[in-house]
Each structure stands twice: as C-alpha cells, then as structure tokens.
Amino acid sequence: MNLGNFILILVCVSVGMVFLTLKVTSFWRARRLQRIFAHAHSAEKNASQLLEKRGYRVLGEQVEKDAFMIVDGRRVPYRVRADYLLRKGNKTYVAEVKTGNQAVSFLQSHTRRQLLEYYLVYQPRAVLLVDGEEGKIEEVVFPDRRSGLKMWGWGVIIFLLGLVVGQWINLL
C-alpha cells in the first residue's frame, strides 16, 4: 500500500469517527433532555395537586398573557407564559414551578426577574414559587412604591378626621 492510499484511508476513518461521535453525542443529549422534560412535567403535575390541596383552584396551566414595553418611543409587544393561574378566595395568584438545582431559591437573579415579570404582567395578589420536588410553596410579593403613598394618604385622612372630630367635640 502506498502512502497516498494510507492517508486517504486515515482521512476516511477519521471523518467516520467524527461523524459517529457527533451522532452518539446528539443521541445522548436528546435522551437527557427527554428525561429532564419528563421530570419537569411530572413535577408540574405534582405541583398542581399540591396547590389544590392548599386551597388554590387552578384556573389554567401554561397561561399566556400579552404585554408590551416602550422602546425608543415604540410599543414592542411580547408574550409571557406562567405555569399556573390560580384563585384562592377572591384573590388571583400566578405559580411558577421549579425543579432540580434551579428550584429552591427566589434569591437567584434569573428566578427573581421571572417572578417580577409575572407580578408586573399578571398583577396577581402574589406569585407562588413552587418547589416541585420538595412540595414547598413560597408566596412572593414585590412591594409597590405606591402602597407606601397610599398608607401615608390614609394617615393624613385619619389625622384630619381626628382634628375635625376634636374640634366638633370642643364646640359641644
């Protein structure tokens, strides 16, 4: 066998090995993603049952809501999808189900931003962060700066009402 044929065979074997490696890697990656999605789906179903046991009524799953932002004076639409839209009493809630390493902390910046987006778009009483594996529910509320102004306004009204009542009593 001459050197040219040997190099050609070596190149063909190398290309075949690269192709085979890519196929095997792709197969295992797809299997891993299937397991992750199946696990997440199972956790969401468990979360639904957990929420119902805690008194929440499921109004919808994977509920989408249209929203928009203003960018350079232009209205830019986008869509948000929450895992669950819920009701308890006369209050509405949105739930986000997390599993695995991503589940446990609302202190993780990406989870916190997601919860804040739900809070702004859906305007629920609270956003529920559900740990689908541990069965834990955390109620997250983002304080509104305007709520402080409302309390201050009520304080002024009560003070003025007390002043009027006090003057009225003095007149008697």
pLDDT in tens, 100-132: 665 557 778 888 899 999 999 999 999 999 987
Does 54 reside within a domain? yes
Residue 132 belongs to domain spanning: 3-148
- Contact yes or no for 155/142 (Cβ under 8 A): no
What DSSP character marks residue 102?
A: G
Does 37 reside within a domain? yes
HSE-CB of 27 using CA atoms within 13 angstroms: 6
Give the model confidence (pLDDT) of 4-46 as tens digits: 788 888 888 888 888 878 887 777 787 776 665 655 655 666 8
Amino acid of residue 142: F
- pTM: predicted TM-score of the whole model, two decimal places: 0.62
Give the model confidence (pLDDT) of 42-81 as tens digits: 566 688 899 999 999 999 999 999 999 999 999 999 999 9
- Contact yes or no for 43/132 (Cβ under 8 A): yes
- How many domains in the chain? 1
Domain CATH number, residue 98: 3.40.1350
Does 164 reside within a domain? no
